[in-house]
Amino acid sequence: MKRAALALPLLSVLTLTTLTACGGADDGGSDAKTTTEPKATASQAKPAVDPVRELTKLFVTKAELPDYTVDEPAKGDAMAETQEDMRVDKAACAPLAYATNYLPLGDPEASVVHVATDGTFAYHYITLATYAEGKAEAAMKGLAEAVSSCTAGYTATSDKASTPYTSVTKETPFSDAAADESIATASTVAYKGTQTMRTQTFRFGDTIVNYFSIDSNGFMKGRSSSAKVPTPLVKAQNTKLH
């Protein structure tokens, strides 16, 4: 989807087959010849499933959530494009760095990111990821361990920027009985006050959705801010994953 800039780049904010065949038959008679030529042959291959395309179909739409626009992030928006591009001073905190930079957790088979906006300076990044059996559970376990280990903060660095998180707090996520697991966090950055960013992460079988919310107004206006993950957004998006 082409657009100029849906959101202020986060980097700027933080740094200022089926096969069937039929056989032939003998036509009878003493002089008859036996033929092995088939009467009909059909071969049809099932199209390969594109996991990225399938994930993209799962994003909530404007019709389903009228107060929000959900689209691809602006190009160059991310502090790091891949997990490999992100370095963390405390290895145990890597899953948190991924969650707060809308990178997928763990080892997914595919992932896609969109960002939801409502006309304010708050941006809500939605990362959908699909996993091989058992790997979604492992990804959630890694995130839970990071939340417990990194309460005093950590520093995430890429070739573009370095972000020192001063604290991490476990919070209560939106209550969704259909989710197999859920984790919520608040992370702070000391910049012209305290900038608080939040995540909520849910697992539905082999699919994980991570929400990351940031209020860029505080960074730009030099005042503290506290972003929240909107309940209507979580409710509408999670419903599509049940």
What's this model's pTM, rounded to 2 decimal places?
0.83
**Own/partner long-range contacts of 16-25 (Cβ < 8 Å, ≥24 apart):** 16/191, 16/219, 17/44, 17/45, 17/46, 18/44, 18/45, 18/46, 19/43, 19/44, 20/44
Instruction: State pLDDT tens for residues 37-81.
Output: 555 444 566 778 899 999 999 999 999 999 999 999 988 888 999
Give the torsion through C-alpha atoms of 91, 144, 203, 176, to 10 deg.
-150
The percentage of the chain sitting over the pLDDT mark of 90, rounded to a whole number, equals 75
**Minimal CA–CA distance to 182: which of 132, 144, 151?**
144
The rounded distance, in Å, linking the Cα atoms of 105 and 103 is: 7
The rounded distance, in Å, linking the Cα atoms of 231 and 228 is: 9
Beta strands 225-226 and 194-204: pairing type?
A: parallel
Residue 22: the pLDDT is 33
Question: What superfamily does domain 52-239 belong to in CATH?
Answer: PknH-like extracellular domain (3.40.1000.70)
The percentage of the chain sitting over the pLDDT mark of 70, rounded to a whole number, equals 81
Residue 115: pLDDT band with limits 50, 70, 90: very high
Helix (H), strand (E) at residue 198: strand 194-204
Separation of CA 147 from chain center: 18
Q: How is the chain split into domains, by residue range?
A: 52-239
